[in-house]
């Protein structure tokens, strides 16, 4: 009865996907709301996922030569205003500090919505000669955007992220870094989060405020909606010109350097929930699961049961596995259901009869597979399962994504798909913003990206019929 | 000539300690100033020290059962005002956000100067039953205090820190956690930062706004000034009462829980500089040195020299040593001096003659010791040296601290010491704030703490002559 109650408490995703999502966020103990609207508490289970993302992504950054720094959270108004497009993009949604201590400030400051302007101000002091280039810096911090509508992980007024900001001698080197970091993100999503992504370039309309080119990774959620999961921007020398950053090159002439920025946020946790989760709750890929194995003792008051559970735990822990014993006084059924809700990849059940028979029961969260395992094989089996679960989860996500990816060659096909379904639609585009606007207005979808893997689906734009220039992924976005 | 210039560029600590400190901060590339007064940039060399502190301290926290969370950076005014002493302590020095997006806010919010009030608001929702206790949470974040005078690492308007906030069923358990975390800090300072500290309790006058008791670790800098390096507070049930946090105990009655908080900040980096540094620059303890070994090739254009340097680097790196080759086109002398300025614990010099003889030269930054080492022994030697340097640096710091710690049994002795020297003065105290105030006013020193290791230096208060209750450490503080 107890476990029934726990499962019934979450709305099914077929009934109401948004409510299902919110239920998981609460029931899996990831987030709590606060008295500051749109700002949330990351509870231990939620923050631990972010820590695992952070550490593994940071290792990948550092392997490409990235160095971490920390810049202030405040941006003086005059600094924010230096780059025209950038300020237009961000000024309407920043939080303003107008008073410090008991005095009003002479110049108001915003809490950083992103730190391009601060990095430019910093680089202006740091970069004088070609010898000072490149600088490949990153920071992990929180940023603030005063959004009207907020949703846990997906959109909140304060969120956690990393922002890389680099500066280079040549346009080519900047472009190379932009693409390199997009690839780091894509590999990380696939290999660590088990989320397949489409890599591509944003259209002019959808690119970042102040960028020459924005690249993106786009993932598809369980409900067929698209989630922009990471972006990488090439600024050319636009910011350098606005901020008057110059360096003396080898030929002794003054030149403007070239810049990039790239970031991912805690919205990746939202992606994990919506790509992998089911009606029993969260499903965590083992590489970002704070607890990879939960051991649930059956008839735990019987002599030797808890001792055996602790022995298994200690042995797994010594092999680097993140493991817990649930020795609370809840019923086993309740514990199973809680363990599923929280997305623990592997569950081990062990009771007096199992111990007598020298075995335990193991259950995979990703596919529900249940099997017996000799006690002496537990360590090897868990070690073996982790990459297998990781791979199977990626595969399952890819299959679902592919089954929700459609092709439209005419406006009628396009309309038909989006009137019946939600998913990615691949279609040809003439490159004109008028068509992009028309599609957005008529079908309530946006261009997600012009994928690197271009195909020729037809010769003409799906909207106007003129010659097509690019294949575009379209979708309904979070 | 080149290395002379580099060394001459820093003021000697005997001439002007404050300028010496600022010079190191700049020349060792730790910090840059920004256009926001009192806010600084942590450059890669500075931030990497913080990352090493963070990771090792976080491991120690987690070993005691601490879980990390993240709470919002904004505190609504009404929340900050709930605990009387607390708001009085912090309201005069916070930064206020009054506008979100294009609209003025209905209620202004401050950027957290510390998060007691937010944790209370959070715990009020989380804690209902004795089963929900204890909660032992921590967050790594930045906080803002609108200080008038700022100095890199020691006092800035925004700084990085961790803040632990715990909640317990009993007063005893809260007190135990308060002391436990102070001990974690003290051990960390000694074993990782090689900084000896005095552990003790703050007087009523010096305790934290809203706390029942504040405990502190106090370190002594090279110039004899004291630096409060970490604090741990026991709040009793004061915050719980102000925020109406209650839980149902096993006996089915409603009770107020008990709380603690504890924190260390990036000022620990300031402590490292001022405890260990000398007139050649920074000296980093190996456990927090971003680069533990720098290899400097001599006549690096000669065949085989750079290859050998890289070979040594790769071999050390494979053993987990943080190592770099300085293969820039600077002169070896310049490189030596730069390596000293940046505080790299071990320098390896290798040239064609060394390679021929199958050896290299190794130099310790902490004591200047220089010796030959067979190429085949480098890995073992470095591994062996790291704990030795760590221990020797702690020993040297302890000796210096002890030589600057004095005893005063009369007001005349007290006055004589502080008119001639700066350091810790141990003296007896009656426990009355009037005496504490008088000493502070007359001698420009403050009570640092009532140390756990109490001694009876005399029977009477150093100020008023009445019976003494406590031995106190006094000092001039940063």
User: In the 3-class helix/strand/coil scheme, how is chain A assigned residue by residue?
Assistant: CHHHHHHHCCCCCCCCHHHHHHHHHHHCCCEEECCCCCCEEECHHHHHHHHHHHHHHHHHHHHCCCEECECCCEEEHHHHCCCHHHHHHHHHHCEEEEEECCEEEEEEEEECCCCHHHHHHHHHHHCCEHHHCCEEEEEEEEEECCCCCCECCCECCEEEEEEEEEEECCHHHHHHHHHHHHHHHHHHHHHCCCCCCEEEECCCCCCCCCCCEEEEEEEECCCCCEEEEEEEEEEECHHHHHCCCCEECCCCCEECCEEEEEEEECHHHHHHHHHHCECCECCCCHHHCCCCEEEEECCCCCCCHHHHHHHHHHHHHHCCCCEEECCCCCCHHHHHHHHHHCCCCEEEEECHHHHHHCEEEEEECCCCCEEEEEHHHHHHHHHHHHHHHHHHHHHHHHHHHHHCEEECCCHHHHHHHHHHCCCEEEEEECCCHHHHHHHHHHHCCEEEEEECCCCCCCCECCCCCCECCEEEEEECEC
Query: B70: which chain A residues are within 8 Å (Cβ-Cβ)?
Result: 41-42, 47, 50, 142, 160
Q: Hey, is the C-beta of A316 within 8 angstroms of any chain B C-beta?
A: no
Does domain A286-401 fall into CATH 1.10.10.10? no
A 83-102 → B contacts, CB under 8 A = 92-102
Q: Among B440, B407, B410, B443, which Cα is nearest to B426's? A: B407
Residue A6's pLDDT is what? 56
Residue B252 tokens read as: 């089915």
> Taking 60 as the threshold, does the pLDDT of residue A81 lie above it?
yes
Q: Is the ipTM of this complex over 0.90?
A: yes
CB within 8 Å: A40 and B72? yes
Q: How far apart are the first and last CA of chain B?
A: 36
| Mean pLDDT score of chain A | 96
> Taking 70 as the threshold, does the pLDDT of residue B4 lie above it?
no
Q: Hey, is the C-beta of B75 within 8 angstroms of any chain A C-beta?
A: yes
Q: How confident is the model at residue B109 (pLDDT cuts 50, 70, 90)?
A: very high
Mean pLDDT for the stretch of residues A352-358:
97
- Where do runs of H (alpha helix) occur along A35-90? 44-63, 77-80, 84-90
> Taking 90 as the threshold, does the pLDDT of residue B270 lie above it?
yes
CB within 8 Å: B47 and A68? yes
Query: B76: which chain A residues are within 8 Å (Cβ-Cβ)?
Result: 35-36
CATH 3.30.110.30 residue ranges for chain A: 405-475
Q: Are B144 and A58 in contact (CB under 8 A)?
A: no
Residue B390's pLDDT is what? 98
Say which CATH class A2-276 falls into. Answer: alpha beta
Q: Which residue has the higher pLDDT, B34 or B313?
A: B313
B 145-174 → A contacts, CB under 8 A = 146, 157-158, 160
Query: B94: which chain A residues are within 8 Å (Cβ-Cβ)?
Result: 101
Taking the CA of residue B57 and the nearest CA in chain A, the distance in Å comes to 15
Q: How confident is the model at residue A8 (pLDDT cuts 50, 70, 90)?
A: low
Q: How confident is the model at residue B91 (pLDDT cuts 50, 70, 90)?
A: confident
Mean pLDDT for the stretch of residues A300-326:
97
Mean pLDDT for the stretch of residues A12-39:
94
Q: Among A165, A64, A58, which Cα is nearest to B51's? A: A58
> Taking 50 as the threshold, does the pLDDT of residue A1 lie above it?
no
Q: Hey, is the C-beta of A81 within 8 angstroms of any chain B C-beta?
A: no
d(CA A166, CA A159): 22
Residue B457's pLDDT is what? 96
Query: B75: which chain A residues are within 8 Å (Cβ-Cβ)?
Result: 36
d(CA A205, CA A443): 17
Q: Hey, is the C-beta of A106 within 8 angstroms of any chain B C-beta?
A: no
| Mean pLDDT score of chain B | 96
CATH number for the region A405-475 comes to: 3.30.110.30
d(CA A289, CA B312): 38
> Taking 90 as the threshold, does the pLDDT of residue A90 lie above it?
no
Q: Hey, is the C-beta of B76 within 8 angstroms of any chain A C-beta?
A: yes
CB within 8 Å: A43 and B69? yes
Residue with tokens 């009934």: A15
> Taking 90 as the threshold, does the pLDDT of residue B13 lie above it?
yes
Q: Are B405 and B423 in contact (CB under 8 A)?
A: yes
CB within 8 Å: A121 and B35? yes
Q: How confident is the model at residue A7 (pLDDT cuts 50, 70, 90)?
A: low
Question: Peptide bond preceding B134: is omega within 30 degrees of 0, i.e. cis?
Answer: yes
CATH 3.40.50.800 residue ranges for chain B: 291-387
Q: What are phi and psi of A20, to 5 degrees?
A: -55, -45
Residues A156-202 have pLDDT tens digits of 999 999 999 999 999 999 999 999 999 999 999 999 999 999 999 99
> Taking 60 as the threshold, does the pLDDT of residue A4 lie above it?
no
| Strand B103-111 to B135-144 pairing | unpaired
Bridge partners of B425, per DSSP, are: B406, B474
Mean pLDDT for the stretch of residues B93-106:
94
In percent, the amount of chain B with pLDDT more than 70 equals 98
Residues B224-266 have pLDDT tens digits of 999 999 999 999 999 999 999 999 999 999 999 999 999 999 9
Query: B126: which chain A residues are within 8 Å (Cβ-Cβ)?
Result: 32
Say which CATH class B291-387 falls into. Answer: alpha beta
Query: B138: which chain A residues are within 8 Å (Cβ-Cβ)?
Result: none
Considering only the beta carbons, identify the residue of B42, B44, B92 that sits closest to A102: B92
Residue A280 tokens read as: 């029993």
Residue B2's pLDDT is what? 45
d(CA B94, CA B115): 12
Considering only the beta carbons, identify the residue of B99, B111, B121 that sits closest to A35: B121
> Taking 70 as the threshold, does the pLDDT of residue A376 lie above it?
yes
CB within 8 Å: B72 and A34? yes
DSSP state of B278: B
CATH 3.40.50.800 residue ranges for chain A: 286-401
Residues B313-361 have pLDDT tens digits of 999 999 999 999 999 999 999 999 999 999 999 999 999 999 999 999 9
Residues A393-428 have pLDDT tens digits of 999 999 999 999 999 999 999 999 999 999 999 999
For residues B59-85, b (16+ Cβ closer than 10 Å) or e, as one string? ebbeeeebbbbbbbbbbbeebbebbee
d(CA B373, CA B354): 10
Residue B84's pLDDT is what? 83
d(CA B7, CA B12): 10
Q: Among B368, B372, B341, B355, which Cα is nearest to B312's? A: B355
CATH 3.30.930.10 residue ranges for chain A: 2-276
Mean pLDDT for the stretch of residues B414-435:
96
Taking the CA of residue B267 and the nearest CA in chain A, the distance in Å comes to 15
Residue B37's pLDDT is what? 85
Burial class (CB in 10 A: 0-12, 13-18, 19+), A335: buried
Residue A179's pLDDT is what? 98
Residues B448-457 have pLDDT tens digits of 999 999 999 9
CB within 8 Å: B43 and A69? yes
Mean pLDDT for the stretch of residues B281-293:
98
CB within 8 Å: B109 and A44? no
Q: Are B9 and B232 in contact (CB under 8 A)?
A: no
Q: Among B4, B6, B5, which Cα is nearest to B338's? A: B6
Helix (H, G, I), strand (E, B) or coil at B237: coil
Considering only the beta carbons, identify the residue of A51, A99, A111 that sits closest to B68: A51
Mean pLDDT for the stretch of residues B161-166:
98
Residue A217 tokens read as: 């990774």
């Amino acid at each position: 009865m107890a476990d029934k109650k726990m499962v019934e408490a979450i709305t099914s995703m077929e009934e109401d996907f948004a409510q299902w999502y919110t239920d998981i966020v609460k029931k899996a103990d990831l987030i709590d709301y606060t008295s500051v609207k749109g700002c949330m508490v990351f509870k231990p289970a939620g923050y631990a996922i972010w820590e695992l993302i952070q550490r593994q992504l940071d290792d990948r950054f550092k392997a490409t030569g990235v160095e971490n720094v920390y810049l202030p959270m405040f941006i003086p108004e005059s600094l924010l205003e230096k780059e025209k497009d950038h300020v237009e993009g961000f000024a309407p949604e920043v939080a303003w500090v107008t008073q410090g201590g008991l005095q009003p400030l002479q110049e108001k400051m915003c809490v950083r919505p992103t730190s391009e302007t601060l990095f430019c101000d910093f680089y202006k002091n740091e970069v004088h000669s070609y010898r000072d280039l490149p600088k490949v810096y990153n920071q992990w911090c929180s940023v603030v955007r005063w959004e009207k509508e907020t949703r846990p992980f997906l959109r909140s007024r304060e969120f956690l992220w990393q922002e890389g900001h680099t500066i280079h001698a040549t346009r080519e080197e900047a472009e190379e870094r932009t693409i390199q970091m997009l690839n780091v993100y894509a590999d990380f999503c696939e290999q660590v989060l088990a989320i397949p992504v489409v890599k591509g370039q944003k259209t002019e309309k959808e690119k970042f405020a102040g960028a020459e080119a924005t690249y993106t990774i786009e993932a598809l959620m369980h409900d067929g909606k698209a989630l922009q999961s990471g972006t990488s921007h090439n600024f050319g020398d636009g910011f350098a010109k606005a901020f008057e950053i110059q360096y003396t090159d080898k030929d002794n002439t003054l030149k403007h350097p070239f810049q990039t920025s790239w970031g991912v946020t805690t919205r990746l946790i939202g992606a994990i929930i919506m790509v992998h989760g089911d009606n029993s709750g969260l499903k965590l890929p083992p590489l970002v699961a704070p607890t990879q194995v939960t051991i649930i003792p059956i008839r735990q008051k019987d002599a030797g049961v808890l001792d055996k559970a602790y022995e298994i735990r200690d042995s797994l822990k010594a092999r680097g596995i993140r493991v817990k014993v649930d020795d609370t006084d809840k019923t086993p059924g309740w514990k199973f259901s809680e363990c599923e809700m929280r997305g623990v990849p592997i569950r081990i059940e062990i009771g007096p009869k199992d111990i007598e028979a020298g075995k335990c029961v193991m259950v995979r969260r990703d596919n529900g597979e249940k099997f017996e395992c000799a006690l002496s094989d537990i360590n090897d089996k868990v070690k073996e399962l982790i990459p297998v679960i990781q791979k199977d989860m990626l595969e399952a996500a890819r299959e679902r994504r592919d089954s929700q990816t459609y092709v439209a060659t005419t406006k009628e096909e396009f309309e038909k798909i989006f009137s019946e379904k939600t998913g990615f639609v691949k279609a040809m585009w003439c490159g004109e913003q008028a068509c992009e606007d028309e599609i957005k207005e008529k079908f309530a979808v946006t261009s997600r990206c012009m994928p690197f893997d271009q195909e020729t689906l037809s010769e003409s734009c799906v909207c106007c019929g003129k010659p097509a220039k690019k294949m575009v992924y379209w979708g309904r976005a979070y």
